[in-house]
């Protein structure tokens, strides 16, 4: 991830002012921005500086925009605008989501209860069924690409993200007359040499791993969703995570573990469905994502119990409704840590005026001191704060770390308090705290 760039205040196109860098990856950067006139908050996807003039990455971003336009209303992240500017090159403007990605919830909270997980399974399968009916294959289904919105944003949703390696399969008798979709744009398959992996290895179907592009279709998304369902319920994968081990299992046709072996008490119908979804042979998987959705819906209906509170309600609860002294709210941002002179990268999951929940690949010890560099909410200014590790919880290849600030500057505390209060009360002016509002009303 490297150093966090100071991009706050810059313009994307003529309409969007950047607040901060929200996420950084090898194929794209995501900005937290707002529309200059309406003030609407948006997320903007751009190419990294070293990829702006790379024809393959340009074509992939263009392809992603076309797919998102076609997928509008399906349960995927909404595309609001697109364009190209001199500073950042081509860009996609998407809805701004408040909440947490599923991988962060899994790492920090552990395996999910069935009652919490089933509604998510149903919603994601429904979204994918609608995409498949549009002949769109996502090809990178994993917890990190499913975002759970906060209850404060209305009805809680599971939103599918990142169509960067997605493609659209042409029907044999399809007429190329859809004015809203560029059928002649280069597909991701044609942009990729045979043998290059597209997606995330842990969730890939066997046909994806073998890079058999002509055979990667809707069944591959079914496989990936099945692996994700297994992991959310068990905290583990249905096969060895070691790359050589996985290849050997495929070579020997070793069947993946069953979810009811890993999690006792899983309903038989769900265990059978997951086993079919993660079958090594495509022909042994369910016939369609629509049938997966229908079976999940029947299972959820059959297990219906008392309504549970929204999954993230405790994370976004108002003051006085929980036992925490300081409210914490979702805040996703790249983080740079310095520990004993060594630099590490991670991302924040949530934040309060007293600390941060951090996701990283490096284990830290409770009581350990470190320096944390990240962009502040609201204004995007990059700050550096000393912190102490309160706790550390290891997940699969990731670690959740609870940090406590050590003597934070007063202006940083005020900025974080303002952000937390603004999330709880969107009617507050930006930069005002709840205490300011209460004093003004007296």
Per-residue pLDDT of the chain (442 residues; tens, 9 = 90+): 444 456 778 899 889 999 888 887 778 889 989 999 999 999 999 998 888 888 888 998 999 999 999 999 889 999 999 999 988 899 999 999 888 899 988 988 889 999 999 999 999 999 999 999 999 999 999 999 999 987 766 778 999 999 988 999 887 665 444 444 443 343 444 334 444 455 578 888 888 887 655 667 999 999 999 999 999 999 988 886 655 666 666 666 777 889 999 999 999 999 999 999 999 889 999 999 999 999 999 999 988 776 667 777 766 654 444 445 677 777 888 899 998 888 889 989 889 999 999 999 888 899 999 999 998 887 778 899 999 999 998 877 789 999 999 999 999 999 998 888 877 655 444 444 333 333 333 3
Tell me how far apart the alpha carbons of residues 405 and 164 are, in angstroms, rounded to a whole number. Answer: 36
Q: What pLDDT shows up at residue 189? A: 43
What is the helix (H) or strand (E) element at residue 348, kind and residue range?
strand 342-351
Tell me how far apart the alpha carbons of residues 385 and 402 are, in angstroms, rounded to a whole number. Answer: 14
Strand-strand pairing, 16-24 and 136-137: unpaired
Pick the closest to residue 189 from 63, 376, 327, 322 (CA basis): 63
Q: What pLDDT shows up at residue 191? A: 38
Tell me how far apart the alpha carbons of residues 35 and 314 are, in angstroms, rounded to a whole number. Answer: 31
Q: What pLDDT shows up at residue 290? A: 98
> Are 53 and 136 in contact, with CB atoms under 8 Å apart?
no
Q: What pLDDT shows up at residue 182? A: 41
- Does 140 qualify as catalytic in the annotation? yes
Which one is catalytic: 103, 140, 350, 421?
A: 140
Q: Angle CA(82)–CA(25)–CA(206) in degrees, nearest 5?
A: 100
3-state secondary structure of 102: helix
Q: What pLDDT shows up at residue 322? A: 47
Q: Cβ neighbours of residue 198 under 8 Å, at least 6 residues apart? A: 139, 140, 165, 188, 192, 208, 216
Residue 83 is classified by DSSP as E
The alpha carbon dihedral of 153, 159, 163, 168 has a sign of negative
Q: What pLDDT shows up at residue 3? A: 46
């Amino acid at each position: 991830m490297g150093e966090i760039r100071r991009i706050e205040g810059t313009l994307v196109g003529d309409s969007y002012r950047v607040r901060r860098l929200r996420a950084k990856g090898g194929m794209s950067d995501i900005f937290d921005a707002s529309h200059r006139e309406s003030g609407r908050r948006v997320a903007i996807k751009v190419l990294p500086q070293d990829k702006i003039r790379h024809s393959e990455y340009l074509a992939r971003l263009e392809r992603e925009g076309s797919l998102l336009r076609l997928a509008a209303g399906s349960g995927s992240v909404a595309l609001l605008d697109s364009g190209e500017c001199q500073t950042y090159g081509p860009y996609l403007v998407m809805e701004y989501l408040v909440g947490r990605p599923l991988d962060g919830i899994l790492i920090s909270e552990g395996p999910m209860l069935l009652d919490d997980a089933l509604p998510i399974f149903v919603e994601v399968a429904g979204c994918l069924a609608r995409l498949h009916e549009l002949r769109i294959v996502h090809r990178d289904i994993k917890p990190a690409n499913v975002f759970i919105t906060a209850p404060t944003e209305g009805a809680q949703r599971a939103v599918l993200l990142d169509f960067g390696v997605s493609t659209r399969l042409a029907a044999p008798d399809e007429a190329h007359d859809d004015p809203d979709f560029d059928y002649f744009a280069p597909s991701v398959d044609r942009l990729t040499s045979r043998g290059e992996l597209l997606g995330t290895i842990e969730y890939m179907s066997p046909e994806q791993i073998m890079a058999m592009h002509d055979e990667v279709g809707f069944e591959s998304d079914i496989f990936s969703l099945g692996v994700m369902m297994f992991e959310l319920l068990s905290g583990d994968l249905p096969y060895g995570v070691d790359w050589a081990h996985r290849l050997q299992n495929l070579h020997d046709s070793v069947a993946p573990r069953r979810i009811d072996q890993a999690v006792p008490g899983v309903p038989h119908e769900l265990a059978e469905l997951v086993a079919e979804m993660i079958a090594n042979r495509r022909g042994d998987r369910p016939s369609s994502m629509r049938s997966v959705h229908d079976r999940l819906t029947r299972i959820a209906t059959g297990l219906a119990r008392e309504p549970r509170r929204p999954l993230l309600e405790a994370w976004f609860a108002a003051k006085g409704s929980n036992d925490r002294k300081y409210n914490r709210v979702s805040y996703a941002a790249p983080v740079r840590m310095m520990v004993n002179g060594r630099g590490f990268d991670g991302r924040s999951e949530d934040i309060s005026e007293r600390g941060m929940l951090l996701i990283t690949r490096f284990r830290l010890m409770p009581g350990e001191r470190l320096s944390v560099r990240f962009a502040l909410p609201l204004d995007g200014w990059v700050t550096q704060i000393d912190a102490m590790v309160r706790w550390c919880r290891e997940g699969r290849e990731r670690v959740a770390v609870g940090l406590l600030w050590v003597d934070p500057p007063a202006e940083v505390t005020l900025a974080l308090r303002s952000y937390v209060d603004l999330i709880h009360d969107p009617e507050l002016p930006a930069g005002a705290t709840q205490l300011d509002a209460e004093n003004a009303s007296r």
